[in-house]
Amino acid sequence: MLWRVCSLQNLMFIAFGVLMLEIVSGRRSNSFYHSNDALNLVGYVWGLWQADKGLDLVDPTISDSCVKYQVLRCIQVSLLCVEDGAIDRPTMSDMLSMLTNESTKLPLPKKPAFSIARKQIEANIPNTESNIYTTNGLSISDMDAR
């Protein structure tokens, strides 16, 4: 039971970090696609952070009205929440302190857990349309293991 609670807690931290990145960027993580690289939103943000271009992430509709250092702080806390090692992720109380108390020193984020997008893999299935597997309106499926 403790393992389930810890796993749920880890997923909650990652989800919170991704949600904050979605809010700052104005983009949804599940539909994000960056044409130059095979990256998801987290990977894209990590690349911007490494290149010291975190403000390039900000949604253009809010970029003029936001406080730049606060946005960078939100991005940094988000990246801390999605770090690869669960032990490196902040606790909820730490996250709250990081977001509300500007004097709290933030550690530098490490590589995120999910920084590469899934690649579509095409199956190499031979064309068998010419074979007839139907008799009297019944069909049989021929399954091949991956």
The CATH number covering residue 102 comes to 1.10.510.10
Is 123 within a domain?
A: no
Model's pTM, two decimal places? 0.68
Mean pLDDT of 120-138: 49
Is 112 within a domain?
A: yes
Reply yes or no on whether the pLDDT at 104 is more than 50. Answer: yes
Is 28 within a domain?
A: yes
pLDDT of residue 14: 79
Reply yes or no on whether the pLDDT at 144 is more than 90. Answer: no
pLDDT band, residue 94 (cuts 50/70/90): confident
pLDDT in tens, 55-76: 998 988 888 888 999 999 999 9
Is 75 within a domain?
A: yes
User: How far is the C-alpha of 133 from the C-alpha of 140, rounded, in Å?
Assistant: 6
User: How far is the C-alpha of 113 from the C-alpha of 125, rounded, in Å?
Assistant: 32
Domain that holds residue 82: 2-118
Q: Domain tally for the chain?
A: 1
Is 27 within a domain?
A: yes
Is 35 within a domain?
A: yes
| Pure H helices in the chain | 2-25, 41-50, 68-81, 92-100
Is 43 within a domain?
A: yes
